[in-house]
Amino acid sequence: MVKNEILIVDDSEINREMLRLILEDEYDIVEASNGQEAIDIIEKGDHVFRLVLLDLVMPVLNGYETLQEFNKRGWQHKLPVIIISGDSTDEALSRAYDLGAADFFAKPYNPQIVLRRVMNVIASREYSYRDLLTGAYNRSGFLQMANNFLQKCEDRTKYAVMFFDVKNFKAINSVLGTEGGDAVLKQTYRGMSGAGLEPIFVSRFEADHFVCLVEADKIDIDAMMHENNQVLDWTGRSMQFRFRTGISYIDSDGDVINFVDRAKLSLSYIEDEYLKPYAIFDDKMANNYINAASVTSEFDTSMANEEFKVYYQPIMEAATGKIASAEALIRWIHPIRGFVRPDLFIPVLEKDGFISKLDLFVDRKVNQVMRRWHDQGLPTVPVSVNLSWMDFYDQDMIQNILDHVAQRVTAPGSVRYEITESSFAALKENRGDVLSALREQGAWLLMDDFGSGYSSLGMLMHYKFDILKIDMSFVRQLENNPDVKHIVKMIIDMCHLLGMKVVAEGAETETQVNILREDNCDYIQGYYFSKPLPEEDFKQFLAKCKAEGKI
């Protein structure tokens, strides 16, 4: 059993010993001989006290001064104080209560009165540690209790944190109503001791999220899978609900919130929520977590230091081999880590809201470079810029793009934007007019990565595109999978019927290129023709194409 901790502050060793004897069966006792010592103990953070028993007359820092210091630090709201003193005058009590004392008892001590008042005060403050609906610890209560427990245990590596997410809770609320949803939460709390977990602490951490501190050797994955399907009978209706579970084994020192965050993060690594509705935090996730933190913290500095570079990958006409356009791709050349792969930083920037700043940088850079080369009489081609799905939720970003396109004096199709199907939700929600506005101003729209997801055809039904880009996962199977070859041919024919041109991405071999040519694909992009090139190399590539009559 985990006992609550009480701090006794009294300069009399005899008085402290008497209180210890009264309380130690129910509580863990820590002692301080004056107010300053008490403050030092609390600030060190090795204990989570539920109550302070405070003498008034002490050296160094007396009881009144100690209460004043508690108030300065904001402790009085979460750490109740009972005054223990031989001075029970109205003046003394009034002053102590004015400073935030919760109760008082006089010396000599009556054991029954002391124990009862201590219990009552702790119980009266229990609400601040508990979730009123379920009775589980709330976030604050769990973190305090779990930290206190782990600080005192002999081997913290014997424990783990589990993070439970109730699946489709919004749908449950919609079907069963708020009271039915509350019943699900209550049943979830009662069921946390299932599967043999016997959790030390259970918390309703956030809305429909629960967190447990458990002994690691009591985690039984098979039993968890069996217990995952819960059924609630509510007003004659049955509702099945499930959990996703993240697990973080405690392998080091540190605040328990770090392990809660790890367990929660591992939820995003669950690939099949029905076959394996759990994930265990591991080194790969840790590295990704550290990388994400580094990306976010270094982004502004890296932008200022011009570590982000725009590369250009040529897009060639399938029939003639001439260069038709290019795609602008962002690269991060870090002074210490070197080349940072886009898949390591772009998702992080999207998640943390920085991607629009980067996309706008690419758009401006491409326009500056192409305009400068044009003014110098150098060859240029249209260059497409990628727009993230997050851009369509950023009103300022979209307005910047629209204003920028309107200010350019270029031929239709010279300005191009690539949009993936991940943008479908944002466009459908509130930004569908943006695509029409861009096309009206002469910009071409490219649908990127067609076929890689589930909304591609829906995008084609709702929005008009000038060019469709077939995802490289299809192109790379052209040589070995006859079905894929037929699918690619059908996509090309469909696009031509809809008035669109087609780019095939990721072509690497001559056989792939020949198949695409036979299928009347309009353009081809891939390492067969060129890898993405830095600005100066792309400039030379264009010059070479012009010299060979391929532009």
d(CA 406, CA 400) in angstroms, rounded, equals: 10
> Among 249, 281, 313, which residue terminates a domain?
281
Cβ-based neighbours of 129, under 8 Å, separated by 6 or more: 137, 138, 140, 141, 144, 145
Structure letter (DSSP) for residue 461: H
Looking at residue 527, what is its pLDDT? 96
Looking at residue 292, what is its pLDDT? 78
Length of the chain: 551
Secondary structure class of 373 (helix, strand, coil): helix
d(CA 259, CA 137) in angstroms, rounded, equals: 17
The amino acid occupying position 515 is: I
Nearest to 260 by CA among 159, 114, 402: 159
Strand 523-525 relative to strand 501-505: parallel, antiparallel, unpaired? Answer: parallel
Residue 314 preceded by cis peptide, ω within 30? no
Q: Are residues 505 and 526 in the same domain?
A: yes
Assess if residue 134 is contained within a domain: no
Q: Are residues 32 and 150 in the same domain?
A: no
Helix pair angle (342-352, 355-375), 10° resolution: 120
Q: Are residues 389 and 502 in the same domain?
A: yes
**From the CB of residue 529, how many other CB atoms can be counted at a distance below 10 Å?**
17
CATH number at residue 372: 3.20.20.450
Q: Are residues 426 and 354 in the same domain?
A: yes
What H or E segment, with its residue span, contains residue 488?
helix 482-497
Q: Are residues 200 and 223 in the same domain?
A: yes
CATH number at residue 67: 3.40.50.2300
Q: Are residues 122 and 31 in the same domain?
A: yes
d(CA 308, CA 84) in angstroms, rounded, equals: 65
From first CA to last CA, the distance across the chain in angstroms is 79
Spatial contact of 251 and 286, defined as CB atoms under 8 Å apart:
no
**Number of domains present in the structure of the chain:** 3
Report pTM.
0.61
d(CA 223, CA 207) in angstroms, rounded, equals: 25
Cβ-based neighbours of 151, under 8 Å, separated by 6 or more: 46, 47
Assess if residue 291 is contained within a domain: no
Strand 209-215 relative to strand 201-206: parallel, antiparallel, unpaired? Answer: antiparallel
- In order of 169, 191, 534, the CA distances from 228 in angstroms are 15, 10, 52
Q: Are residues 236 and 313 in the same domain?
A: no
Q: Are residues 68 and 154 in the same domain?
A: no
Spatial contact of 465 and 447, defined as CB atoms under 8 Å apart:
yes
Looking at residue 453, what is its pLDDT? 66
Looking at residue 228, what is its pLDDT? 66
CATH number at residue 224: 3.30.70.270
Assess if residue 305 is contained within a domain: yes
178 phi and psi angles, rounded to 5 deg: -60, -40
What H or E segment, with its residue span, contains residue 245?
strand 243-249
**From the CB of residue 520, how many other CB atoms can be counted at a distance below 10 Å?**
13
Looking at residue 396, what is its pLDDT? 86
Secondary structure class of 162 (helix, strand, coil): strand
Assess if residue 384 is contained within a domain: yes
> Among 97, 128, 159, which residue terminates a domain?
128
Q: Are residues 236 and 309 in the same domain?
A: no
Assess if residue 396 is contained within a domain: yes
Assess if residue 236 is contained within a domain: yes
Q: What is the pLDDT along the chain (551 residues), one digit of tens a residue?
A: 568 899 999 999 999 999 999 999 999 999 999 999 999 999 887 787 889 999 999 999 999 999 999 999 888 777 899 999 888 788 888 898 998 898 988 878 888 889 988 998 888 776 677 888 888 888 888 888 888 788 878 899 999 999 998 887 877 777 778 888 888 888 888 877 655 778 899 999 988 899 999 999 888 877 777 666 677 777 776 777 778 899 999 988 888 998 999 999 898 888 776 778 889 998 888 887 777 778 888 999 999 999 999 999 999 999 999 999 999 999 999 998 899 889 889 988 988 889 999 999 999 999 999 999 999 999 999 999 999 988 888 888 888 888 888 887 667 778 899 998 778 777 776 566 888 888 888 899 999 988 776 656 777 888 889 999 999 999 999 998 999 999 999 999 999 999 999 999 999 999 999 999 999 999 999 999 999 999 999 999 999 999 999 98
Q: Are residues 193 and 264 in the same domain?
A: yes
For residue 96, the cross-strand partners are: none
The domain in which residue 376 lies consists of: 298-532+539-544
> Among 77, 97, 128, which residue terminates a domain?
128
Q: Are residues 175 and 96 in the same domain?
A: no
Looking at residue 9, what is its pLDDT? 95
Q: Are residues 155 and 20 in the same domain?
A: no
Secondary structure class of 509 (helix, strand, coil): coil
Looking at residue 45, what is its pLDDT? 77
